[in-house]
Amino acid sequence: MNDDLSKRRLGRGLAALIGEMDQPTPVDAGRPGVNPDRMVPIEFISRNPKNPRRYFDETELYDLASSIRQHGIVQPVVVRTVSIDRYEIIAGERRWRAAQLAGLIEIPVIVRDVDDKTALEIAIVENVQRADLNPLEEALGYEQLIAEHGYTQNDLGEIIGKSRSHVANSLRLLKLPEPVRDMLAGGSLSAGHARALVSTSDPAALARTIVAKGMSVRDAERLAQNDIKAQNDPRPAAARKDEKDSDTLALERTLSDTLGLDVTINHRGSGGQVKISYKTLEQLEEICRLLERR
């Protein structure tokens, strides 16, 4: 079986398994082809250290814990066996954390025998589909699958149900310095704000300006474009003219988001130039494929 076919089938398999996880199931019920749910002491369960999700809102956890005290855990946590009577979470870490806050001694689980690779894939797909990851966690999850398991951006797009450009734009966030990543993870910057800063001279300083002034994404893009132009123009600010209008900047942003690559538009009289920057042969091949479809 070739790699492309196996990864497409894997994507469908993950989707089916995640759909199965979403079905609330009585603890003592069994279904053909599915391991029966069981109750496991909570101290016998540990988190998956490679789970891309790192941030859990404390208020939401306490709200969930309150609900669990009243109604119990309706949806079992999905785990895998790591040793005798020891389990590692595949999906459902938030419920496990809230159950600890609620003081539960044991929780219902579904056991799945999967390897490290599949456990990571399920964790990422499940979190992405439920929008549980912040943009930085999502990007780190994609990077992990690419680095550790050889996925391409196209592979990931097919498996998670997103476009290749969405994956590419997510990965661009990892070029940002740590202070900007922290703002992104904490929610003070959106992914749109952060993407605009990737090619600027001082992303951290611009990010602080954006947050302090409460700028919109469009305003942040304009701020970033002015910075990038200043980098490429050695003349003093007073000598610069013909700044790009907002429509041109918006078009650059739209094309960049569509391609997942940096796009620059320069007008020259009645004509002009469109510049698409790529860093890998895979990105160049994708540009060629898009042009061939036209």
The answer for 148, left when phi > 0, alpha when psi is -120 to 50, beta otherwise, is alpha
Tokens of 107: 């929780």
CB-side neighbour CA atoms (13 Å) of 204: 5
| DSSP E strand stretches across 62-118 | 77-83, 86-91, 106-111
**Residues 240-249, buried b or exposed e (16+ Cβ, 10 A)?**
eeeebeeebb
Q: Which residues pair with 272 in a beta bridge?
A: 267
Active site residues: 93
Angle at 63 between CA 60 and CA 66, to 5 degrees: 150
Q: Sign (positive/negative) of CA torsion 186, 187, 193, 195?
A: positive
Antiparallel, parallel or unpaired: β 45-46 and 271-277? unpaired
